[in-house]
């Protein structure tokens, strides 16, 4: 294990132990190691929370003007031959459905202050953004 990976693993172990102690009491975090079922639960919960937080950061990066491709590269996502990195990143960040049941990512455009819905697998990425104000400068830059 690289030293950075070892440090990260130690940090994760500490977070797991803290969750076990907070949820199951100090006896579940005995000196010989935590209760393994409690630790497994805490690790799964921590992974779920980390994924949720990562998706929030992805949406915030999009709101700040970052391109889906740049976000996907930062996350080390890989696109299969039939999808673009934009679509893979959007799928990772999916956070809801619209009134028609289509999966989308919703974010607030800082230029027009409107909620924008962005859809996966649109032939024209600029057409994938719905909800900008008619005079939105940011949307005009993608048209």
CB–CB of 39/18 below 8 Å?
no
Per the domain annotation, does 112 fall within a domain? yes
Strand partners, 106: 117
Per the domain annotation, does 133 fall within a domain? yes
Helix or strand run (H / E) with residue 13:
helix 3-24
**How many structural domains comprise the chain?**
2
52 and 105, same domain (yes or no):
no
54 and 97, same domain (yes or no):
no
56 and 88, same domain (yes or no):
no
Give Cβ neighbours of residue 102 (< 8 Å, ≥ 6 apart): 119
Per the domain annotation, does 85 fall within a domain? yes
Per-residue pLDDT of the chain (143 residues; tens, 9 = 90+): 578 888 888 888 889 889 998 988 888 877 677 788 888 999 999 999 999 999 999 999 999 999 999 999 999 999 988 888 998 999 899 877 777 888 889 999 999 999 999 888 777 766 788 899 999 998 887 65
Q: How far apart are alpha carbons 73 and 82 in whole angstroms?
A: 17
CB atoms within 10 A of CB 6: 10
130 and 92, same domain (yes or no):
yes
Per the domain annotation, does 128 fall within a domain? yes
pTM: 0.78
Per the domain annotation, does 68 fall within a domain? no
> What are the distances in angstroms from CA 33 to CA 27, 41, 129?
10, 15, 50
Domain range enclosing 136:
81-142
51 and 89, same domain (yes or no):
no
């Amino acid at each position: 294990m690289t030293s950075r990976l070892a440090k990260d693993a130690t940090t994760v172990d500490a977070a797991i132990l803290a969750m076990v102690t907070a949820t199951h009491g100090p006896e579940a975090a005995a000196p010989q190691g935590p209760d393994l079922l409690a630790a497994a639960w805490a690790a799964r919960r921590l992974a779920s929370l980390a994924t949720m937080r990562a998706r929030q950061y992805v949406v915030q990066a999009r709101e700040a003007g970052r391109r889906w491709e740049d976000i996907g590269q930062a996350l080390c996502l890989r696109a299969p031959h039939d999808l673009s990195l934009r679509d893979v990143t959007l799928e990772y960040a999916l956070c809801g459905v619209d009134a028609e049941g289509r999966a989308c990512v919703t974010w607030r455009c800082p230029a027009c202050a409107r909620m924008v819905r962005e859809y996966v697998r649109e032939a024209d990425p600029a057409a994938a953004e719905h909800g900008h104000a008619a005079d939105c400068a940011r949307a005009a830059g993608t048209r």
